[in-house]
Chain A
C-alpha cells in the first residue's frame, strides 16, 4: 500500500499492540471465532533430498536403508497422526543428486507433460510448499523452468503456450531475478490459507484457517557455482535486504505467520549480500516466526552438535532457535524430518504464536536400536517405472572392449585400465581449449591419471573390467573417485617434478642386496600419476633416491624442453594441490571443468563404441630403468593373475605363490628389472 511516508513515521511511534487493538476493534476481519481460540500447527521440513526417492544406491545397485524419501514419508505420516494440523514444506536441493535425477534430466529427458519422479512423490505426500536450493540450478534454467512448470522470462529459455507439468504445490524464491526483466524468477512468497482445527475458549473444536506466508531464499553463491548456466541471465540479492522488503508486504497481505524457507546454513561473519550462509543475519530481520534451513547436510537442533555454525552466539542448539527464531535443519537425503510445533492463539484479529509452546526437533529415520523405520509403500509404487529405468540405464552397455581392463599390474607398467581414462581426459580438454581458449590452442595437451584401485584393501581392491560389454557401472570401476576434470598449464620442468613425486610409489632398490626387496612403498596408489602416450616417454630408476628417479624424459623423441609449456588434463584433486605435488596448484589451472572425470570417460567410450588393446590399452609412456639385482624384487597383487601381465606384454613378471599367507587375498610376484 502506498501511504505517504510522514504517516509511517508518525504511526511507527504507536505501539504495535495498540494498532492491533484498533484493528480488531473495528472488525476488519470476520474469522467467526472468538478471541483466545487456540490451535497447534506443526511445520514439517524436508531438505536436501537430492532425488533420493528410494532407499537405494544406484552406484552399488543395492538397497541403502540409511536414506530415501520412502522412509521420510513414514516419518511424515507419524507426525500427521500426532499433530492435528501440519504443513509440509521442502527446502530445496530436491531435483538433483542421484542416477535417477541424471536419468530424467540428461539421459532420457522428461517430456513437458510428465512430472519429475521426485515431485511426483512429493505431490503424493501433499506438500504445502517448497523453496529452491542451489542444486535446482545444476541442470540449467530451461530444465528448471520445465520441471517446475514455470514461465521464466530469461534469455535462453523458451516457453510454450502453457507451462509444463510441475509440482502441485507452490514454490517460493525471493532472491533470484531475471537479468532481462529484473523480476523475480519464481514467486518470492506465497500466502497459503491453511485449514486447521482449533479449540475455542468454550472447549468446542472448530474448523478455521491460518494464513501462512512462506518466503524462499537460495545461496547467492549459485552465481559462481552454476556460472555456466546463470552468468548474464539471472542475478541474486542478499537475504537481509530481500526479507526486509518482502516480509512487511506479506504481513500487509494478511499473513498471520511468516515462515522462511532458506536454503543455507548459519554464518555470523560480517553481513554481505553475496554470502553463502546468510541465515544467522536473516533471523534478525523482524517478523519471522520460523526458519527452515538446510544446505549444510546437518541436523538442527542437536545438543551434541560440534558444528561451528551451531555453536555461534545467539544459536541455541538444544532448543532449536537462532537469535530467538525457532529454526530447524533436517539433515539430508531424507534421513531426518524437521519439525517446528507452534502453538497459536487467536487475538480476535489475527493468530499469534505463543512461544512457550514452541518445540523444535529433527526426527531420524533411524530407530534407537539402529534399525530404520519402515518404508511408505506408496512411494516405491509411484516411481516404479522411473526406478527400473534408472537401474536399466546404469546397467546398459555403452561400448565394448576386446581386452580385460585391469589394474592388477598397473604399478609395474600395465596401462590397460589407465590409458582409456587418459585418452578421455585429453580428448575433453583438447576440445574445450580449441573452442574456448584460443590463446593456448598451440600447446600440446597431455593427460595424466593414477590407478585408484591398486590393492590397498586386498585382492578385490583392483579395477577389473572383463572383455565384452562395458556398462555405466564399469565406468565407476575404471574411475573410482568423484572428481572433475581440470586442465593445468605447466612447463617441462613441472612435468619432471610431477613424475618425481609420483615415483615415490617405489622403494629405493639396492641392486647388491641378495635378499628380497619390496618394490612398492607406502606412498598411496591414488598419487601414482602416469602418462600413457607414445609422445611422452620416461624411465623410473628405482635404484635412485626420491627426487632423482625420472630419467630420459622425452617429448616426441627429443629431450623435453624444461621451459616449454604443456597443458595437462588431470582432476580437481591434483589441480587444487592434492598430494602436495610441487608447483601444482590453482594458479596453474586454466580450466576447472564442471564435468566429472567419470562422465567424461562414459561419453568418450560411447563415442568410440569399440575399445581395442592396440588403440586404448597398451601405450606405455614409462618403464623401469634396467638394472640387474642380486636378490628378488617383489610386489603383491591378486592371486592367479599372471596371464593378465603376460597379455599386457609384461613378460618379466613371475608368480611366487598363490597366497602371501595373509587374509587379504593377495599373492606375491617378482619383477626382473634387468629386462
Chain B
C-alpha cells in the first residue's frame, strides 16, 4: 500500500507549511547563532573563484573596519597572478594584522617566505610575522619558524634546537606537516640524539591525518626494519596503498 498526499485544502496546506516552518524555526535560530566569520569565509570562497559580488561584499565589510573581512580579502588577493592585486592583498593583510588578526600575520609571513609576483622571498622578514602570529595564538606559524631555523640563511645560522622547539609547538597543535618534519629530525638525530620510537609516534600521528610522506615513511620503516617496525607483508601492502591513496588528499599546510 502506497502512502500518498491528498490534494490540499488551504487550511491543511498552511498547517503543513507551519509544521515545516516550526522545524525550520529551529534552524533559523541555529543560523542566527552562526558567527559572521562563517559568512565572510564563504564570501572568501566565492571571491576565490573571482566572484565580483562576493569580492565587493568583502571589500565593503573590510572598508567598514572588519578585520576578518580585511584578512579574507587579503588572502584572496595575494593569490591572484598580478602584482597589483598581490600588493593590495598585502596591504589588507597588514591592516588586519594591525587590527589584531593573528591569522593575517601568518598569511603575511607565508607571503614573504615563499614570495609572489612583485614580492621577493625574504625568510628573515617573514620570521618576524610568524613570531607575531605565534604570540597571537596561531601555532601554525610555529611550523614556519621551524622551517626557517632548519635552514642556513645569510645572516642567521641554522639552529636545529630552535627548529625542533618550534616544530614541536606546531606538531602538538596537530599540524601533519610539522609532525612529519619533526619526526624526520628526531629520526635522524638532528639537534638531539636519534629516537626512532619517538619519531614513529609523530609519523603515526601525521599518517592518521593522511599525510602521504608519513605514510611512505612508515611503509619504508616496515620494509627496512626501522623505527621499531619489522618486515610484514600484510602491513606493507596496506601501508603501500595508504601512502598512494593519501597522495590525492594531503592535509592542509599550516
What residues make up the interface of A, taking CB atoms closer than 8 Å to B? 1, 3, 7-9, 11-12, 14, 16, 19-20, 22-23, 26-33, 50, 57, 64, 66, 96-97, 134-135, 138, 179, 193, 195, 206-209, 211, 219-221, 223-226, 231-238, 240-241, 244, 247-248, 251-252, 254, 269, 271-274, 276, 285-287, 296-297, 307-308, 333, 456-457, 481-484, 524, 526, 572-573, 576-580, 582-583, 585-587, 594, 596
Contact = CB atoms under 8 A, between A and B. Distances in A.
B247 to A, nearest CB: 6
A179 B49 contact: yes
B6 A30 contact: yes
Contacts of B158: 582
Interface string B28-55: 1111001000100110011011110000
Given A8-B25, A207-B1, A241-B42, 18 more contacts: A1-B17, A11-B21, A12-B28, A22-B19, A96-B248, A208-B1, A224-B252, A225-B248, A225-B250, A234-B49, A241-B38, A252-B23, A273-B41, A286-B26, A456-B225, A524-B224, A579-B188, A586-B177
Contacts of B113: 587
Contacts of B213: 572-573, 576-578
B253 to A, nearest CB: 7
Interface in B82-132: 113-114, 121, 123
Contacts of B49: 179, 231-235
Interface of B: 1-6, 8-9, 11-12, 14-31, 34, 38, 41-42, 45-46, 48-51, 113-114, 121, 123, 147, 150-152, 158, 174, 177, 180-181, 184-185, 187-188, 190, 208, 210, 212-213, 216-217, 219-220, 223-226, 231, 234, 237, 240-245, 247-253
Given A31-B3, A482-B243, A482-B247, A16 B22 contact: yes
A209 B21 CA distance: 24
Contacts, number: 237
A20 B16 CA distance: 9
A576 B180 contact: yes
Contacts of B248: 96, 134-135, 138, 225-226, 594
Nearest to A211: B3
Contact of A219 (B18, B150, B231, B249): B249
Contacts of B184: 577-580
A19 B19 contact: yes
Given A16-B22, A482-B240, A28 B45 contact: no
B50 A457 contact: no
Contacts of A233: 49
B242 A3 contact: no
Nearest to A588: B151
A576 B212 CA distance: 10
A28 B243 CA distance: 55
A358 to B, nearest CB: 21
Instruction: List 4 A-B pairs, minimum CB-CB distance, nearest first.
Output: A12-B25, A482-B244, A252-B20, A31-B3
Contacts of A582: 150-152, 158
27 contacts: A7-B21, A16-B19, A27-B6, A29-B3, A31-B1, A32-B1, A57-B237, A138-B248, A179-B51, A237-B42, A237-B45, A241-B31, A252-B20, A252-B24, A286-B27, A296-B210, A481-B216, A481-B219, A482-B247, A576-B177, A577-B181, A580-B184, A580-B185, A585-B147, A585-B151, A586-B253, A587-B121
A207 B3 CA distance: 10
Contacts of A57: 237
